[in-house]
Amino acid sequence: MKIRGTRECQSCDAQWSYYETGSVRCPNCGSMRSVGVDEDRREHTDSPAELDLEPVRRTLATEPLEHAVDDLKQRLREYTRKRGFIKGGELQPLDDRYLAARELLHAADLAARSHSPTETEELYVLELLGGTDRGEWPPETEIPDSLAAARGLAVAEAVEAYRRDLRTWLEDHPDPEATKTLGSLREQIKRAEALQGEVSLGTTNSLVAAARAIGQYLRTGDENALASARDRLQRLQ
């Protein structure tokens, strides 16, 4: 959606950035009567998204995962729903926190549905919980085999969300080579989706790396990044 980023309150004349607040309400007086004052509208898909996992952490300190999983999934879905990768016309990278949140959503669901998650599974969910809080995505070597599909599904969803925003950004910044590479990326995403996330960890790493490389190319013009993305995707075919 293209919007004017700077808002001005018609009651008290205060100005603020919609890109930062995601609100037309005046932060100074609370009035809803505001107008956009920038001359140009810019593409904006991101919204301020807080993710408070402390209540979930407190529940897990005394109760099993299945008692906390519904609250956890609701918080994660709300967070990922608000997130986007174009902020005030500027393309953003695919960040670790978004990836960790997506994986935590699937891993917690898989572990809780087993009704008797192993200690290894519970520890990994807790590691993801902490990683999401810190903005870190745990390394692949820590994933229990039983939860590997959670990473595959999470990566497919995260990379697809990023790919959609890259396509949106390309509408105003056409680049045939990038568009073609995004088509190859989409084919690999569809494959991971069809397999319900049951893909190798090498594949998930390549999907994330390729998506990030395409984003880097579009942000910086680094042609080596685009070549790297193509190479990774070709090796997945």
What pLDDT score was predicted for residue 4?
83
What pLDDT score was predicted for residue 139?
78
Residue spans of the domains in the chain: they are 2-43, 54-236
Residues 47/64, Cβ–Cβ less than 8 Å? no
What pLDDT score was predicted for residue 72?
97
C-alpha span between 82 and 19 (Å, rounded): 13
Residue that the structure tokens 């998930």 belong to? 204
What pLDDT score was predicted for residue 114?
82
Mean pLDDT by 10 residues, the chain (237 residues): 84 88 88 86 89 95 93 97 94 97 96 88 94 90 90 97 98 97 98 96 96 98 98 96
